[in-house]
């Protein structure tokens, strides 16, 4: 008597991490708030006139990369539609592009800051980018910490060291009353202590901080954000002559130049007003404690090595800034 032999195989779903094409440099030409746009076209023209020489310097640096090829450089611009909305895309964005063109600059990609929170709330495939990055934070415990401080997931505050105690926590302190200063975990000689607010709660819900959303923006430009292996956000082609009348109808990240180099890049450089100095210091504090997808990091390392370019494994080492004198507002 013969019978069928049943064979059982254990199967395991493996998430494939999508690789992304990379430019050599992602050059950010600015990040303005709605009140900046409210000052009119002349304000925008002054901004790009001051940005242009520094953008040219960044391009010159990229041209010196040891690849033996023409450097791939994409430009981008971040518009704040998260903290306030004083106008529509159809009214606000054409003057922005015109002001950039008047200065001899072209914006390849334009992003909405609200897209750093949720990629597209109107679609079922939306991704909560800010929340996903929050879940990847790995706090660096300062030497001598005793676990008294609640985790960042509860407090919404992230630091680069040890806070000064606001109350006596040991018997020794109760007897001596000695004050202890804050300290940076890896200080070089003297501490530069930073305590970053990532969000606060309001009646309308959680409001993410500018610093945290800027950190999400940097990770997106570096090609390190994934949702179940899928690269996010994805640039969507957009006709600059047909911006919608509603911000929700504008994709979070649009490609304005059909022939633009890839949005993601091995390195980022942001030309920003000096008011962003403390914000970007906070951004670097966040990035230093973000555990990014190791497969995405390896993919970029392999891709860059194939071009003869050694890219640092650390996220912070791949970011840079220019704060031009005079570009204060």
Residue 3 in this model has a pLDDT that exceeds 90: no
Range among 131-140, 166-175, 281-290 rated most confident? 281-290
Q: Are 266 and 23 in contact (CB under 8 A)?
A: yes
Range among 63-72, 131-140, 157-166 rated most confident? 131-140
- Band (150; pLDDT cuts 50, 70, 90): confident
Residue 260 in this model has a pLDDT that exceeds 80: yes
Residue 136 in this model has a pLDDT that exceeds 60: yes
Q: What percent of the chain has pLDDT over 70?
A: 87
Q: With 0-12 CB in 10 A as exposed, 13-18 as middle and 19+ as buried, what is 143? A: exposed
Strand stretches in the chain, DSSP E: 23-32, 73-79, 109-112, 157-159, 161-162, 183-184, 195-197, 199-202, 205-208, 226-227, 230-231, 236-237, 253-255, 265-271, 319-322
CA 213 to CA 82: how far, in whole Å?
Answer: 10
Residue 54 in this model has a pLDDT that exceeds 50: yes
Residue 10 has a pLDDT of: 45
- Band (142; pLDDT cuts 50, 70, 90): low
Residue 9 has a pLDDT of: 42
Residue 7 in this model has a pLDDT that exceeds 60: no
Mean pLDDT of 194-215: 94
């Amino acid at each position: 008597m013969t019978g069928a032999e049943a064979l059982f195989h254990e199967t395991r779903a493996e998430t494939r991490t999508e690789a992304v094409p990379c430019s050599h440099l992602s050059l950010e030409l600015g990040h303005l708030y709605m009140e900046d746009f409210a000052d009119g076209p002349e304000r925008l023209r002054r901004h790009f006139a001051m940005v242009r020489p520094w953008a040219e310097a960044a391009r010159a640096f990229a041209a010196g990369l040891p690849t033996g090829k023409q450097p791939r450089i994409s430009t981008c611009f971040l518009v704040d539609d998260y903290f306030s909305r004083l106008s529509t895309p159809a009214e606000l964005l054409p003057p922005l592009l015109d002001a950039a063109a008047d200065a001899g600059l072209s914006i390849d990609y334009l992003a909405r800051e609200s897209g750093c929170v949720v990629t597209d709330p109107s679609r079922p495939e939306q991704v909560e980018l800010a929340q996903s990055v929050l879940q990847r934070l790995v706090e660096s415990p300062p030497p001598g910490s005793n676990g008294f401080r609640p985790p960042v997931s509860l407090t919404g505050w992230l630091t680069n060291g040890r806070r000064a105690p606001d109350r006596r926590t040991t018997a020794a302190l109760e007897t001596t009353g000695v004050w202890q200063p804050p300290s940076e975990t890896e200080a070089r000689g003297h501490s530069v202590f930073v305590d970053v607010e990532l969000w606060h709660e309001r009646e309308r819900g959680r409001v993410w901080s500018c610093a945290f959303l800027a950190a999400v923006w940097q990770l997106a430009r570096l090609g390190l954000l994934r949702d179940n292996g899928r690269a996010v956000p994805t640039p969507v082609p957009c006709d600059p002559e047909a911006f919608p009348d509603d911000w929700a109808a504008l994709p979070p990240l649009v490609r304005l130049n059909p022939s633009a180099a890839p949005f993601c890049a091995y390195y980022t450089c942001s030309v920003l007003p000096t008011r962003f100095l403390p914000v970007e210091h906070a951004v670097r504090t966040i990035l230093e404690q973000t555990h990014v997808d190791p497969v995405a990091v390896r993919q970029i390392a392999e891709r860059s090595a194939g071009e003869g370019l050694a890219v640092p494994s650390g996220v912070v080492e791949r970011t840079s800034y220019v704060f031009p004198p005079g570009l204060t507002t």
